[in-house]
Amino acid sequence: MFPAEIFDIIGDFLFDDQQALLACSLCRPLLPSARYHLFSEIHVQLRTKHIIALTNILQSTCNTISHYARRVVFDDLANCLLIAGVSDIERAIRKLPLLLSMLPFAEFVRISNTNFEHVPQEVLRCLVSYLKPFVNLELHSLHFYRFSEFADLVCSFPRLQQIEIKRLTWTHSGRGITHLGRVPPHVEWHILELRHGENLRELAEWLGEHNPTPIIRSFYFDAASQSEVYKLRSLVRRIAPSLRYLQISFPVLVDSEHGQNPSLVFIDLQECTALRSLRYKHILLVPNDHTMTTMINPWVSQILSQLPSDSLEDVGFELTIPESSNETCLKEIDWSGIASALLKKEFRYLRSIQFSMSAGKTFQCGHAARYILDRMPNFKHALRVQMV
C-alpha cells in the first residue's frame, strides 16, 4: 500500500481535470483527495431555483460537500440578472444565509466576470450584506462604473484578512481619493493584474493614502506612460518590505530627457528585502531592432542586480516574439548580463528560472531551449522553457 501522501500528490497534479478526478474518486485511497479538489469551490448561481436545489443537496444525509468547501464563487451576476430578473435575484440572495450556514469551512468568496454597470447597486449591496463573515475576498474580471464603487465594496467586509484582485477596470474615478474609505492595515493585498494602466495608477494613489502603509504581498507593475511609472514606483517604494511576489510589465518608453539609467527611472527594488518571486512580462523581442534591445536589456539584468533579498526562489521571463520570427531573435537578450547578475547576488534559495515564449509556427522550442541552456550553463538545474 502506498503512503497517503502519494495519493495526495496525484490528486494535486490533477486538480483542474474534473473528468480525471471523477475517475479517481472510484478508487478508495484517492477519494479524499478527489473530493477535496472537486468540492473545494462551490459555484452559486443567483437564481432562486438554483439556491433551493443546492440547499437541498447540502441538507441531504448523503452530503459530502460541506466538509470540503473552502471557496464560494458568484460568477457573471449581470447574466443572472438578464435571465432571471431583479426580483428573482433578490429572493435568491435572501435565501443565502441558510445555504452559507451549511458551509462552515468556507473562508473565501470570489466575485467574477461581471460588469457592474449592468447590475443595480441595491442588488450588489444586498449581496454583500450576507457575505460579510468571509475573511478572504477575491475579485476577478470585474468592471465598475466608478473606482469609488470598487473601494466601497472592499471596505464593506469588516472581518477581511486578504484581498486578491485580478483584471479589474472602471470607467471613472468617482469621488476624490481622499474621501474614500480605508481598508484595515492588517489586510494582505494580492494585486495580480489590471487591464489598464490608468486604473492601476488610481489604485496606487488610493493605497498610497492609507496610513499605515498597506501590506501588499503580490503586485503587478504595469505602466504605459512616465506619469504612471512615477505613481507606481512611489507605491512600490512604500510597500517594498512586505512585497513577496512581483510582476513587471515592460513599457515601450524611456526617460531620455534626464539621461538617467533607465532601469532606475523605471522601478526601484532596493528595499524589497523579502521578495520571493520576480516575473518579467511582455519582453518584446524584435530581430535586429537595436532600439528595442537598448531599452529592454538594461531593465532585465539591472533590476535583478538591484534586489537585496537572498530569499528569491524563482524568476520568470515572458518573451513575446513576432509571428514571423524564429529562435534567432533570442540573441537580442543580454544573456551574459542576466547570468552575471544571478551569480553575483548568490540567491541561495533560487530553484526555478522559467522562460515562457509566445511565438509563431516557425519558432522551434527545442532549439530555443538548447540556446538558453548554452548561455546559462551554471543554472541548468533550475532552467525551465515552455511555449504558451
**DSSP code, position 104:** T
Does 175 score more than 60 pLDDT? yes
Give the model's confidence band at 21: pLDDT under 50 very low, under 70 low, under 90 confident, else very high: confident
What is the SS3 assignment for 3? coil
The total of other beta-carbon atoms located within 10 Å of residue 155's CB is: 14
Does 294 score more than 70 pLDDT? no
Residue 324 domain flag: yes
Does 291 score more than 60 pLDDT? no
- What is the distance between the alpha carbons of residues 65 and 262, in angstroms, rounded to a whole number? 53
Residue 8 domain flag: yes
- What is the distance between the alpha carbons of residues 285 and 359, in angstroms, rounded to a whole number? 10
For residues 227 and 23, the model is more confident at 23
Does 42 score more than 80 pLDDT? yes
Does 41 score more than 70 pLDDT? yes
From the number of C-beta atoms within 10 Å of its C-beta (0-12, 13-18, 19+), residue 40 rates as middle
329: its cell numbers: 531573435
Residue 202 domain flag: no
**Contact by Cβ (8 Å): 246, 273:** no
**Contact by Cβ (8 Å): 136, 162:** yes
Q: What is the pLDDT of residue 142?
A: 95
Block residue for cell numbers 528560472: 353
Does 99 score more than 60 pLDDT? yes
Q: At what angle do helices 121-129 and 86-94 cross, to 10 degrees?
A: 10
Residue 351 domain flag: yes
Q: What is the pLDDT of residue 140?
A: 96
What is the SS3 assignment for 86? helix
Instruction: Give the range of the structural domain holding residue 35, as residue numbers without chain letter.
Output: 1-39
Among 128, 208, 115, 132, residue whose Cα is nearest residue 170: 115
Q: What is the pLDDT of residue 264?
A: 46
Mean pLDDT within 105-128: 96
Mean pLDDT within 125-147: 95
Residue 3 domain flag: yes
Q: What is the pLDDT of residue 266?
A: 65
Lowest mean pLDDT among 26-40, 91-105, 201-215: 26-40
- What is the distance between the alpha carbons of residues 357 and 387, in angstroms, rounded to a whole number? 5
Q: What is the pLDDT of residue 224?
A: 67
**Contact by Cβ (8 Å): 301, 334:** yes
133: its cell numbers: 463573515
- What is the distance between the alpha carbons of residues 194 and 197, in angstroms, rounded to a whole number? 7
Q: What is the pLDDT of residue 182?
A: 94
Does 298 score more than 80 pLDDT? no
Does 196 score more than 60 pLDDT? no
Does 262 score more than 50 pLDDT? no
List pLDDT tens digits, range 46-75.
999 999 999 999 999 888 889 999 999 999
- Residue type (1 letter), 82: L
Give the model's confidence band at 10: pLDDT under 50 very low, under 70 low, under 90 confident, else very high: confident
Residue 194 domain flag: no
List pLDDT tens digits, range 158-169.
999 999 999 999
Q: What is the pLDDT of residue 190?
A: 96
Residues 6 or more apart in contact with residue 24 via CB below 8 angstroms: 10, 11, 14, 30, 31, 33, 34
- What is the distance between the alpha carbons of residues 146 and 170, in angstroms, rounded to a whole number? 5
List pLDDT tens digits, range 301-311.
878 888 887 78
The total of other beta-carbon atoms located within 10 Å of residue 81's CB is: 19
Among 323, 332, 376, 336, residue whose Cα is nearest residue 354: 376
Q: What is the pLDDT of residue 290?
A: 59
Mean pLDDT within 345-368: 84
**Contact by Cβ (8 Å): 339, 379:** yes
Q: Kindly provide the residue ranges of all beta strands, DSSP E only, lying in the chain, ordered along the sequence.
A: 41-43, 71-75, 108-115, 136-146, 162-172, 188-194, 215-222, 245-249, 277-284, 314-320, 352-358, 383-387
Does 214 score more than 70 pLDDT? yes
The total of other beta-carbon atoms located within 10 Å of residue 48's CB is: 18
Please give the tally of structural domains in the chain: 2
Average pLDDT along the chain: 85
Q: What is the pLDDT of residue 254?
A: 44
pTM: 0.86
- What is the distance between the alpha carbons of residues 80 and 119, in angstroms, rounded to a whole number? 10
Rg (CA), the chain: 24
Residue 155 domain flag: no
Residue 144 domain flag: no
